[in-house]
Amino acid sequence: MKLPEKFTERMKSMLKTEYDAFINAFENSPIYTGIRINTAKEGAKEAVLSAFGDLEPIPWCKDGYYADKSLISGNHPYHMAGLFYFQEPSAMSAVSGLPIEKGDFILDLCAAPGGKSTQAGAALNGSGLLVSNEIVKKRSDILSENIERMGLTNAVVTNETPQKLSEKYIEFFDKIIVDAPCSGEGMFRKEPQAVEEWSIEHTVSCGIRQRHILDCAVKMLKPGGYLIYSTCTFAPEENEKIAAYLIDTYNLEICKTNLDMLECGRTKWSDSEYDMSKTRRIFPHTQKGEGHFLALFKKGGEAVQSCKKEKKPKKPDNVLNDAVSLYRKFEKETLNVKLDGDFVLFGENLYLKPQGINIDKIKVVRCGLHLGICKKNRFEPSHALVLSLKKEDFKTSVNFDYSNSQLKAYLMGEVIDCSGSGWTAVLVNGFPIGWGKASGGRLKNHFPKFMRLKK
């Protein structure tokens, strides 16, 4: 790989005696892949490690492991059932450094494709609220799909600008994740396009955009709340200098994380006298991961009034009530659990919205748990619903080992043998993976078409 000359000059000036080791890592060290196990699914870690053998742990993420993607495929049933998520090892560090507590209201402001959101969601384990935002519509759809696959029930996916969100959710969130769009220097080895697009001017323009995003984020953070800022670049203009900007501009202090295994940021790269030793960096010549930076901040001050109360639903109550009645009928016939909360109807789609969040006049891609579709006086359950439940939650299910040929046929969209009748959950080693509808000894396939394996 031919690196930009001005990039290598800057890195040589920054790293001095470490530079040769840094360049050698770029040219010769392996490119690492990671999986992060979804602990929101009970028993997932034991199942994944049993299936894939002795995986090397990632030091800065207790649920992360180095993995060979040629041996662990995205087509594996455990991946399709949401037991694990492919993620760059370095990218797991940011949420690992955020002190998440049960019941927190968390915002992931630049969330696609969803690695950090699903990591935060697993830590919440169904409690509190997760708002995952992505400004690009196509990317927000991918984000929503990953939220669904991991079985998160308390997540709202939005497609808004940081500015719009900051005008509505004033000092609303306990924790905020800002994995900011950056020049991507840390991903040069994995994304050659980032090399072609790189320039010193680009790093400066990224710093300007990052400041704007953080200006919005700080407005949404509660006093006493924590903000984690991260990038996948080496540029001080986007890292230590941004940290110094936050301290200069707002009532924020840099906090120590629990990531002592990572290198400290450098005060001399910040153009300030602030101590950057509590920030963290990952370099490919010192860790098994690509370039990364993170800094944890705590906000001082006193709380102000948050967003306005949500307006009443625009749809007549009887329309929503009819939809809920259809769901309740399905629930009584099919499930062993009763789900309660704020039911919301978007067209024919019924959702269970997390409580405490006002979504009026916000572009929403996913409003909590998608229960299913109500049409023609019948209810059809969603794929999100089956992935959000446990094996004991279903009255009727069929269970296969992940290597079973019948399961493979199901994942390819075929009709398979099945006794019983009505909606039936398909399980892989006890983990829900999809729906089918049993009748006459056969199971009509309801696995999503876009997810099906190719024949």
Residue type, 385: L
Q: Compute and round to an integer the Cα radius of gyration of the chain.
A: 23
* 34, 41 contact by CB (below 8 A): no
How far apart are alpha carbons 233 and 15 in whole angstroms?
14
Backbone angles phi, psi at 175, to 5 degrees: -140, 140
Q: How many CB atoms lie within 10 A of CB 261?
A: 11
Tokens matching residue 355:
């409580």
Instruction: Specify the 3-state DSSP secondary structure of 208.
Output: helix
Active site residue 232: yes
Coil, strand or helix: which one is 331? helix
CA pseudo-torsion sign 74, 79, 84, 85: positive
Q: Count other Cβ atoms within 10 Å, centred on residue 181.
A: 16
- The torsion of the CA quartet 142, 144, 149, 152, rounded to 10 degrees, works out to 150
Dist. CA 239–CA 244, nearest whole Å: 9
Catalytic residue among 61, 206, 232, 307: 232
Q: What one-letter code names the amino acid at 329?
A: K
- Name the token pair of 432: 């829900």
What is the distance between the alpha carbons of residues 294 and 228, in angstroms, rounded to a whole number? Answer: 7
Q: Which two tokens stand for residue 372?
A: 């299913």
Distance of CA 52 to the CA centre of its chain: 23
3-class DSSP state for residue 66?
strand
Q: Which two tokens stand for residue 412?
A: 């390819």
- What span, in angstroms and rounded, lies between the C-alpha atoms of 21 and 179? 27
The tokens describing 210, both together, are 């990052």
**β-strands 129-133, 105-108 pairing:** parallel
- Which of 120, 41, 136 lies closest to 82 in space, CA to CA? 41
Dihedral-angle region of residue 61 (phi above 0 means left; psi in -120 to 50 means alpha; beta otherwise) = beta
Q: Which run of H or of E encompasses 372?
A: strand 369-375
Task: Report cis status (omega within 30 of 0) of the bond before 113.
Answer: yes
**Which sequence positions are flagged as catalytic?**
232
